[in-house]
Amino acid sequence: MSFDYDLFVIGGGSGGVRAARIAAGEHGARVALAEEYRMGGTCVIRGCVPKKLMVFASSYPAAFEDARAYGWNVQPAEFDWVAFRTRLEAELNRLEAAYRSGLKGANVTVFDCRATLQDAHSVRLASGQVIRAKHILVATGGRPFVPDLPGSELALTSNEIFKLEALPASVLVVGGGFIACEFASILNGLGVEVTQFYRGAQVLRGFDDEARGHIAEQMVEAGVTLHCGTDVLTLEKTADGIRVSGTDGSERTYGAVVYATGRVPNTDGLGLAEAGVALGRKGEVKVDAWSQTAVPSIYAVGDVTDRINLTPVAIREGHAFADTVFGARPRQADHDLVASAVFTQPCELGSVGQSEEAARDAGPIEVYATSFKPMRSGFAGRNHRVMMKLIVCADTRRVLGCHIVAPEAGEMIQLAGVAIKMGATKEDFDRTCAVHPTMAEELVTMRKPVRVA
């Protein structure tokens, strides 16, 4: 049986591009890739990268205020959204070009169009062309989910927020996950009046309870009006904006409504089920530890599999797939102890390993925690506090989890993740000399547990 390519990748995001580049550039496979929108996927074009740049932009008002406390004569500043958005688009264009250059350098053939599965070895392009490949990799990522309710078509999602012509005076952010909390913080920092609805009891479900409570308090103190236990009933377009009716009986008009109520795998209309690929309840592609589907020639990586929906995980899955199938180096992506960060303000949340709640259910633990006012913001007269927390197995002394709520917590948790991944014990942390004066030194100076469970 003859094939046009050894591998055909559907989706030009982080996972798909990494798999294509490694398979072609390092292992010599004949590879093609189809992307229907822009190369780089959610992370580069409408997710992590533009969001983090918006985080940076939104942090300056607080920095200007702090500068005055440190003796700088800083004049009142005004944010120019259009200027920022123009610069942001230029940066995304640069990154997309870099992705395309990497594929070209690896001799990957790129089709700028939609591709769907026709059978176990064939894909059909939007042009009607059918291409046969020995292996097919589905890496189509996910998309924002907006529930079906009256007026839901009026809502924005994280996909559209980067394209706004102007910032609204007020916004309602619906959702309590990391995307919702991050955009609530960003818009608040950019001067928008922000209200946030979340139907659950506390935001950031799945993270350590103490840490997420700390984040919620900090967001409220920074100016976000947070309503937990509240959801939207209807949205209605008015002359002044969008009128929102809430389950708490409230009615108010906002300049915009942003939904960040989760994401769903991008599998609709791809022909997966027809080709024999099993899908889960949310439409995710079901795969084994090798990222292989029920059809031996078809694999899937990244958010479309709904395992751990983080860019670095998708990249590792794509790389492991290419090494296994084309490099004679069988290996599986490691999904254990993956660190993550939530870029809220004024403090971020960095987390790796088990929460206190999960660890307590598994066996006896010791909890080491501290909360304090950091030097920089304390000098500037700010009230926000940071939190450091270690979860330790009482039997083995291994550190099971680390949770940091602090400015730049995402930077700190990366190195803590290395230690915990290596199996560090509490005594290993204790033997490490502190770097003074830093916030991170608290991680190695906590000597007595605050709780034993």
CATH number at residue 64: 3.50.50.60
Residue where a domain terminates, one of 261, 288, 306:
261
Q: Are residues 91 and 174 in the same domain?
A: no
Tell me, yes or no, whether 341 lies in a domain: no
Q: Are residues 162 and 256 in the same domain?
A: yes
Q: Could you read off the pLDDT of 30-53 as tens digits, one per residue?
A: 999 999 999 999 999 999 999 999
pLDDT of amino acid 247: 97
Task: Report yes or no: 12 and 40 within 8 Å, Cβ to Cβ.
Answer: yes
Q: What average pLDDT does the structure give for the chain? A: 97
CA geometry: angle 409, 411, 414, nearest 5 deg: 105
pLDDT of amino acid 1: 72
pLDDT at 361 over 80: yes
Task: Report yes or no: 403 and 389 within 8 Å, Cβ to Cβ.
Answer: yes
Tell me, yes or no, whether 342 lies in a domain: no
Residue found under tokens 């990586």: 301
pLDDT at 145 over 90: yes
Mean pLDDT of 422-444: 97
Mean pLDDT of 355-373: 97
pLDDT at 400 over 90: yes
pTM of this prediction? 0.96
CA proximity to 117, closest of 130, 105, 108: 130
Tell me, yes or no, whether 424 lies in a domain: yes
Tell me, yes or no, whether 334 lies in a domain: no
Contacts (Cβ under 8 Å, ≥6 apart) of 257 = 154, 155, 156, 171, 172, 174, 232, 235, 242, 244
Pairing, β 225-228 against β 232-238: unpaired
Q: Are residues 138 and 268 in the same domain?
A: yes
Q: Are residues 136 and 16 in the same domain?
A: yes
Residue where a domain terminates, one of 261, 279, 314:
261
pLDDT at 170 over 80: yes
Q: Are residues 127 and 89 in the same domain?
A: yes
Q: Are residues 248 and 271 in the same domain?
A: no
Q: What is the CATH number of the domain that holds 355?
A: 3.30.390.30
Q: Are residues 269 and 252 in the same domain?
A: no
Task: Report yes or no: 402 and 354 within 8 Å, Cβ to Cβ.
Answer: no
Which domain range does residue 123 map to? 5-142+264-326
Q: Per-residue confidence at 118, pLDDT binned at 50, 70, 90?
A: very high
Q: Could you read off the pLDDT of 325-350 as tens digits, one per residue?
A: 999 999 999 999 999 999 999 999 99
pLDDT of amino acid 76: 86
Q: Could you read off the pLDDT of 54-80 as tens digits, one per residue?
A: 999 999 999 999 999 999 999 988 999
Catalytic residue IDs: 436
Cα end-to-end span (Å), the chain: 62
395 to 208, 244, 368, 447: CA distances (angstroms): 21, 52, 15, 17
Tell me, yes or no, whether 297 lies in a domain: yes
Q: Are residues 176 and 212 in the same domain?
A: yes
Tell me, yes or no, whether 332 lies in a domain: no
Instruction: Give me the number of domains the chain comprises.
Output: 3
**CA–CA distance, 374 with 406 (Å, rounded to integer):** 8
Q: Are residues 25 and 53 in the same domain?
A: yes
**CA–CA distance, 61 with 67 (Å, rounded to integer):** 10
pLDDT of amino acid 307: 98
Residue where a domain terminates, one of 213, 245, 261:
261
Q: Are residues 226 and 122 in the same domain?
A: no
Helix (H) or strand (E) holding 41: helix 41-46
Q: Are residues 108 and 119 in the same domain?
A: yes
Tell me, yes or no, whether 70 lies in a domain: yes
pLDDT at 353 over 80: yes
The DSSP string of 99-133 is HHHHHHHTT-EEE-S-EEEEETTEEEETTS-EEEE
Q: Are residues 70 and 33 in the same domain?
A: yes
pLDDT at 252 over 80: yes
Q: Could you read off the pLDDT of 283-311 as tens digits, one per residue?
A: 999 999 999 999 999 999 999 999 999 99
Tell me, yes or no, whether 51 lies in a domain: yes
